[in-house]
Chains A and B, each alone.
Chain A
């Protein structure tokens, strides 16, 4: 629920000083690649702000996104965000369920009309009237439309919400679509990833909170601060790529020596995300550092890009039979053409001969 106290006032009693705000602000400024001078503004704005009402809707998803954002928390600086927001509805995390939970959602919508943020993880199935995913008897489609109607902004968290993700993968049996295909009259921020980097979620929320507007987005609706560069751009294995030193399989010498994973299917060159810089689990590692190529999970259709272990340079269509058939057809057509020529020629010879005879 929206509170009357400012965040500073509310947190004061818990011993959270303005220094903590300032420190959090420099953290956010760093995350969002803002100039350091912005951190003072962020700190002031955050201190003045009220707790931000957030309604979190989970549709066709695996709860990995929620896992990811809650894992960013050891009671420290990074999760001050949970003091800044009021998570008014999140059916996985909240204690109440059923009618009481739905009541909490509608109450929060009423109390914060036009000001609350809707966070969505999971895609929305459209096929057969959306029956493939319902909550409290309400289809995801209806709940999304109803909840987003009076929202200030919608944040699609995870690749399923952002781009359809795994439910949308071939053959997409439920007709799953991305949130942005349904909500077209409101700003939608996409924070894709399977799951997304927790800092990308919290950083974006903190930005929304302190500036009251969306951060700069790329053409796919992703905050540029986190999705402005590819994994390949910032990959520490890049020098090996340039030198042509590749792992050819997962247990060869190259793999053991930490060479580039391009040949074993790394999608880093086309994957925009911050894994190579922010890394995972408190900066411990990220897939490439742990020896596996990037899956490109923050990109639309990452599930259907021709196989995780197929190199980016390979054609994705199955070709062997088709190319063979085309070649055979070519030979046949060529033979027919040659035959045609032969007949023409012998016809001409015959004609000439008969002319000679006649003459």
Chain B
């Protein structure tokens, strides 16, 4: 029998929620496979214990893709061993998990580059090129000058 001593007695209790979530994921994956309907489950909104979460993570396992993002703190994304089932874990500023979801999709939105970001990046790249051209031009002319002097 487990003792009641630990103050956080229930962090390691298994409630059976992992199994429930698992079967919901299976349903959603069926739909995604059949019609391409994407969906997600907010894990942070469920009263899961740490043990439940651990169990679910174990059941789902890890698949081919893993990514670490550095977006206002860390975010971990991985595809589980079931293709199309992704785990997205957002960390806050102090390394605490602030939001966690299962996404049933081709690829989680957070991984995609937004067009607006691309536009801003293009601008920046343009500027960088201009700067580069300008500096190369300057380098060249100074090199020419040097060779004349030589």
Contacts and interface: CB of A to CB of B under 8 A. Distances in A.
B125 interface: no
B72 A282 contact: no
A17 B93 contact: no
Contact of B93 (A12, A76, A234, A259): A76
A102 interface: no
A239 interface: yes
B9 interface: yes
A112 interface: no
B96 A16 contact: no
Contact of B71 (A19, A36, A78, A245): A19
A281 to B, nearest CB: 9
Given A282-B92, A282-B96, A22 B7 contact: no
Contacts of B41: 36
B98 A78 contact: yes
A80 interface: yes
Contacts of B47: 234
A131 B39 CA distance: 57
A17 B117 contact: yes
A202 to B, nearest CB: 12
Interface in A1-46: 8, 12, 16-20, 22-24, 26-27, 29-30, 33, 35-37, 40
A74 B42 contact: no
Contacts of A16: 72
Contact of B120 (A12, A22, A283): A12
B92 A18 contact: no
Contacts, number: 105
Interface string B6-29: 111111000000000000000000
A283 B96 CA distance: 7
Given A17-B117, A259-B4, A30 B45 contact: yes
A359 interface: no
Interface residues of B, number: 37
Contacts of B64: none
Contacts of B100: 30
Contacts of A282: 92-94, 96
B63 to A, nearest CB: 20
Contact of B44 (A30, A80, A239, A259): A30
B92 A77 contact: yes
Contacts of A18: 114, 116-117
B119 to A, nearest CB: 9
A174 interface: no
A75 interface: yes
Contacts of B120: 12
A28 to B, nearest CB: 9
B110 interface: yes
A24 B42 contact: no
B73 A19 contact: no
A318 B92 CA distance: 49
22 contacts: A12-B120, A16-B72, A17-B114, A18-B117, A19-B114, A23-B72, A23-B110, A24-B72, A26-B99, A26-B101, A27-B98, A30-B45, A30-B99, A30-B101, A36-B101, A37-B39, A37-B40, A40-B109, A76-B94, A79-B93, A239-B10, A283-B94
Given A17-B71, A258-B4, 9 more contacts: A16-B72, A26-B110, A29-B42, A30-B45, A35-B42, A76-B72, A76-B94, A236-B10, A239-B9
Interface of A: 8, 12, 16-20, 22-24, 26-27, 29-30, 33, 35-37, 40, 47, 74-80, 234, 236-237, 239-240, 245, 257-259, 282-283, 289, 291
Interface of B: 4-11, 39-42, 44-45, 47, 69, 71-73, 75, 88, 90, 92-94, 96, 98-101, 103, 109-110, 114, 116-117, 120
